[in-house]
Structure 1
Amino acid sequence: MSDHAPQPVDRQLPTDEARDLISLVRDIAQREIAPKAAEEEDAARFPREVFALLSGAGLLGLPYDSAYGGGDQPYEVYLQVLEELAAARLTVGLGVSVHTLACYALATHGTKEQQAEYLPAMLGGGLLGAYCLSEPSSGSDAASLRTRAVREDGGDWTLTGTKAWITHGGIADFYTVMARTGEEGPRGITAFLVPGDAGGLSAAVPEKKMGMKGSPTAQVHLDGVRVCDDRRIGEEGQGFAIALSALDGGRLGIAACAIGLAQAALDEALGYASGRRQFGRPIADFQGLRFMLADMATQIEAGRALYLTAARLRDAGRPFAKQAAMAKLHCTDTAMRVTTDAVQILGGYGYTADFPAERYMREAKVLQIVEGTNQIQRMVIARHLAGPPQTG
């Protein structure tokens, strides 16, 4: 209903190479992802061919070492790539973030031999990963997980248990799995790299969700899955520390995806408000809507600045866990507010599937839940500020 075209985000990019990378991503997003997004989400279709295209373009291993097929890109750049992808279709942006999360344990804690054997295919060989920490009875309390890995006489491991809420569950080529190998609590957990075709590994029927229908989320069952010891990542008992470290980066991925989704909603609302006429003029001329649009844009810019600040700390090797939690909290709450306001600006049309605003709103909700709920983020931030809570 409008000739208004969204303006590309003015990116803060450190090099000409990074600018070329963003141009490539933007082109792929506009040609290959956005035009099919509404139809494929409605049909709950996962775009595996898009991930193959991204892999071929070197976009599935951006923050990792080029010696193993990665892109040697700083998180500052990688996260802006995620934002561009999520603005075109959240299923794709979040999928790349989850894949990057699934590669983290091996890329940072694997031996040189493990990295040389497995990482090239994971980063640039067309494979897709999944990250398995949560379980039906352990979500926010991840340290209470029950999936168990038992070492056999020959040195191999047998994994038994169920993982829940697994993005790419049932379609992933590899799973980074946290399993209990020792005592109760966080010190008894170990990380394993499990092939997607391992005997005894299966996935339940995907969950029926209010949004992100094109991204399969399913329980993953491990029924006596045998894994050789050279697929154990890190030392025994180190898995929970690896998982928490991975989640710090993963939270930044979700933050960037949230800002991409919010930016798409703002662009949609602005385009509609500029073209829709009431009382003889565009509704964008009315102060009430102008203030809504101004608030939406300000929240998005603040969120973008927050996730980029955390990313730069990470790139500099400085502590960033507090800022990652802040970014995840602020950016996902922003996505929920902005997408809700976008529906309001479109009025009745915003409530129909003829416009993408209602889909954006449905998709935004899950971002406040994944990679640690926003209540957990507040607990993390408060712990950094005031220390652990007093007991007794």
Structure 2
Amino acid sequence: MKPQLGPELAARLRESAEKAAAAGEPDRETLAALRADGLLATAVPRAHGGAGGDGAEVNRVVTEIAAANPSVAIIAFQHFAVSARIAEWGTEEQKRTLLPRLADGTLLAASAWSENGAGAAKQNLASTGVRTPGGGWVLNGAKTFTTGAAVADLYLVLVKTGEDAAGGEGAYGAAGQTFFLVGADNPGLVPDLCLDLAGMRGSATGLLALDACVVSDEDRLGPEGHAAPIIAGVRETGATLGAVSAGIAQAAFDLALSHARSRGLLELGAVRHRLVALATRLETVRAAVERAGARTAPDPGLATLHSKLHATMAAEEICLDVARMLGSAGYGAGTTADRLLADARGVGLMGPTNDLCRELVALSWTA
């Protein structure tokens, strides 16, 4: 059976979204409910206890979660992304030991790639991995904007293990970089939820320090020094952060429709037509995300990039228009409209950022 977001968890996610936005921290009880629900199995192959979902399934589930709680949707998206990378690039031992626990919610996964000074393309990493005489590795450095920091059990960490060799203008990652899977119980890994974000306030997005973090070579994901191809291949799956934006746009439209109904405004033709215009833009977001997941475009990777760009920009516009429709009801700080608009803006800043997406699309014209 396909994973489905049930009404009970959806209601809990909606309530949690308001609570987490006010507190500026993740709702751990709601995350525990998500772990127990079965949705985290979406991207894990059936052979390892998962649902065997492809990019289209990931997008569908993420959109459903985001319509209720965008912050939790971002956490889930990162979990799915790490699960898929392990399924594709992991050793048989990594697949055997990690994938079943990622599927049943015992493990919640997160990515730790970004850091100050590296740029959106992650081509100038300062964090390092150095081999030890015994064949292991010592990781040092600091990661920033790590979604799921302090709530994840497993982190996919990107560090420099060799000489930098940039992949060219517009490329994502560089030669000489390597991925490692690091457990949250590693004493050399220290999360810090010190970031006070304007949006996605329940996403546990924070810092991650690597302080003489000792790992074995068995914790390495993929070939040493060849993280860039792993990164580049991700968008070919069709899974897109645009799915989060699609859920946000849906939530904003639902808010506008509910507002109009509750005040008898649907009797006004101008209001109906304005809502139809919003619904039409929402359909374009859904279509872009679905096309990416279906992988039917001549270049699936480009379709994924375009889906993220269109969905994030359109969702932000929809949220802004909804806030205007609500008037004073949508203007107060801490209102649902205010939260959705801040969350919509946040997706465009998440990797690959919208500016990097534009560079990657432009690069395809000159390649």
Q: 1:336 aligns with which of 316, 324, 331?
A: 316
Is residue 242 of structure 1 aligned with residue 230 of structure 2? yes
CA contact (8 A) 2:240 2:307 kept: no
- Aligned partner of 2:253 in structure 1 is 266
- Aligned partner of 2:170 in structure 1 is none
CA contact (8 A) 2:38 2:105 kept: no
**TM-fit CA distance, 1:100:** 1.2
Higher deviation after alignment, 63-72 or 107-116: 63-72
Alignment of 1:81-230 (within 5 A): 81-185=61-165, 186-230=174-218
The 1:26/1:335 distance shift into structure 2, 3 A limit, reads farther
**TM-fit CA distance, 1:49:** 2.9
CA contact (8 A) 1:248 1:325 kept: no
The 1:291/1:138 distance shift into structure 2, 3 A limit, reads farther
The 1:224/1:248 distance shift into structure 2, 3 A limit, reads farther
- Aligned partner of 2:366 in structure 1 is 387
- Aligned partner of 1:313 in structure 2 is 295
**TM-fit CA distance, 1:34:** 1.7
Counterparts of 2:359 and 2:95, CA distance in 1: 34
**TM-fit CA distance, 1:87:** 0.5
Counterparts of 2:270 and 2:363, CA distance in 1: 39
CA contact (8 A) 1:178 1:240 kept: no
Counterparts of 2:289 and 2:278, CA distance in 1: 17
- Aligned partner of 1:294 in structure 2 is 276
The 1:183/1:256 distance shift into structure 2, 3 A limit, reads same
Q: Unpaired segments of 5 or more residues in structure 1? A: 1-16, 277-281
CA contact (8 A) 2:141 2:209 kept: yes
- Aligned partner of 2:168 in structure 1 is none
- Aligned partner of 2:342 in structure 1 is 362
Counterparts of 2:345 and 2:239, CA distance in 1: 17
- Aligned partner of 1:78 in structure 2 is 58
Higher deviation after alignment, 79-88 or 38-47: 38-47
Counterparts of 1:222 and 1:358, CA distance in 2: 35
Counterparts of 2:236 and 2:74, CA distance in 1: 15
Calculate percent identity across the aligned residue pairs: 31
- Aligned partner of 1:254 in structure 2 is 241
Higher deviation after alignment, 112-121 or 144-153: 112-121
Higher deviation after alignment, 193-202 or 37-46: 37-46
CA contact (8 A) 2:24 2:196 kept: no
Counterparts of 1:200 and 1:333, CA distance in 2: 39
The 1:373/1:183 distance shift into structure 2, 3 A limit, reads same
CA contact (8 A) 1:91 1:215 kept: yes
Question: Which structure has the larger Rg over C-alpha atoms?
Answer: 1
The 1:102/1:73 distance shift into structure 2, 3 A limit, reads closer
**TM-fit CA distance, 1:334:** 1.1
What is the aligned residue count?
A: 359
Amino acid at match of 2:276: A
CA contact (8 A) 1:252 1:328 kept: no
- Aligned partner of 2:24 in structure 1 is 44
RMSD value over aligned CA atoms? Answer: 2.1
CA contact (8 A) 1:191 1:232 kept: yes
Amino acid at match of 1:151: R
- Deviations along 1:5-61, one digit per CA (max 9) or x if unpaired, are xxxxxxxxxxxx44xx43xx1424433222333133212342333333333332113
Counterparts of 1:48 and 1:247, CA distance in 2: 30
- Deviations along 1:43-89, one digit per CA (max 9) or x if unpaired, are 23423333333333321131221222221123222311111111111
- Deviations along 1:116-162, one digit per CA (max 9) or x if unpaired, are 12222223242211101111111313121121101111000000111
Q: Provide the TM-score with structure 1 as the length reference.
A: 0.86
CA contact (8 A) 1:94 1:253 kept: no
Q: Provide the TM-score with structure 2 as the length reference.
A: 0.91
CA contact (8 A) 2:74 2:147 kept: no
Amino acid at match of 2:209: H
